[in-house]
A and B are shown apart, each in its own frame.
Chain A
């Protein structure tokens, strides 16, 4: 059979199939049901449930409004203002307590102050590097947490679980000891020049917090591939978690993402200076 005849035959079959499909009501219904079933299920589990359940996932228990019997609306408003002020103070106290707790450790930790646009790396209460944040993006999910939920969320320091990065933490060079002075003279004593590659990293903390840090500077063209691999790594983490949850018939954990931009030098110093599982104190307001 000639290729043109095969194509003609296939097109004819497709035509017959489509004309059958357009005439057959049961076929249409079946197709629509089959087509929609899985995406609707995924949409519900991966998007609707995490969005609508963000209250319960970070809930502290009682978050209902308390009735103030016998108090007129004006003074009730005043009380609510006081409650708000106390709430802010409690948040301040929580983050200070976190900083004090982290300062007891020997290793470096992060202090992220979103209200002052600062990212500090500290050891035992002493700031080793202070970076100005040039851009901050916070996931909308944070917005749906009320004050007591926020307080519960930030009440203990965040602890790093894993990370992804475009640069290695440390790059070791292995050198075999020379056998004699001649071989030693031949071994290159030239120091390795400072690394100028682009820096992007993501820190995954407990309590569903993810912090993405990227450099302000545009990356070099030749680094496109490594940045693509890094981005794909981030996506695959999200994808695999969502997939795993859906396959288990549950909803993926709602994540809170904070995306920060700092200078390349700051990003490199912070990433290299941090231990593998860094602590984090977060100040939101």
Chain B
């Protein structure tokens, strides 16, 4: 009876010890595994160094040895053709590149910079009225073409220009819609009513303040107006 009790006690003590041991071993194991997972990238870099570089001559499986020079010439020709095609993508005519992040512009012709400076672009403001009306003031990105250009432009104020000032929106042809001088000396139309034009607020040049149009200083606008024609490309990013 006493012996049995002793045996049971022995097994109980050992079971507890083994359980503790297993728990500690698994915890440590998990801990080191997580460290390994966390450092897998950097340790992997070291291991990759040990992998021998594989030699490659699979081309010889595709092209017979005696046809190698002809194949080389044909690849060279393809490369030259592609380089020419890529070169042709750059417009020969002057084009404009506008950076909406830093509010700068570059007037280019091929790889030559004709003029660069600051501008103002969309303010990324969302104007809301009620639940159903919303205007987003941002400059569209991508490649656009100049549709039209005009000296001494008149600004036909859209609805948002009145709503933004807390004014009632007049009828489409109401005289209060027409403003002279606001757009500066010139305007170049892009798409969907977006323009490149001048500004009365020159202190804001270099900042994101517009309703989506690109505003330029007077001298810059004149150079851009003189160089860009209907069809000229404008790249905005």
- Residue ranges of A at the interface with B (Cβ–Cβ < 8 Å): 17, 20-21, 27, 30-31, 34-39, 41-43, 46-48, 50-52, 54-55, 60-66, 68, 71, 79-80, 82-83, 85-87, 89-90, 92-93, 96-97, 99-100, 103, 106-108, 121, 123-126, 128-129, 139-141, 143-144, 146-149, 170-184, 191-194, 235, 238-239, 242-243, 246, 252, 254-255, 257, 265, 268-269, 272-273
Contacts and interface: CB of A to CB of B under 8 A. Distances in A.
Nearest to A52: B51
Contact of B141 (A41, A255, A273): A273
B44 A50 contact: yes
Contacts of A100: 82, 85-86
Contacts of A194: 102-103, 206-208
Interface stretch (B1-9, B21-29, B149-157, B220-228): B21-29
B45 A139 contact: yes
21 contacts: A39-B33, A47-B40, A51-B48, A55-B54, A62-B61, A63-B56, A79-B60, A82-B69, A86-B68, A96-B82, A99-B86, A100-B85, A103-B86, A126-B90, A129-B99, A148-B56, A173-B126, A192-B208, A239-B37, A265-B102, A273-B100
A15 to B, nearest CB: 13
Contacts of B59: 83, 86-87, 90, 147-148
A27 B48 contact: no
Interface residues of B, number: 85
A55 B48 CA distance: 11
A63 B20 CA distance: 53
B25 A89 contact: no
A71 B60 CA distance: 14
B171 interface: no
Contact of A83 (B20, B50, B60, B127): B60
Contacts of B95: 126
Interface of B: 17-18, 20-22, 24-26, 28-30, 32-33, 36-38, 40-41, 43-45, 47-51, 53-61, 63, 65, 68-69, 71-72, 75-76, 78-79, 82-83, 85-86, 89-91, 95, 97, 99-103, 123-129, 133, 136, 138, 141-143, 163-167, 204, 206-209, 233, 235, 237
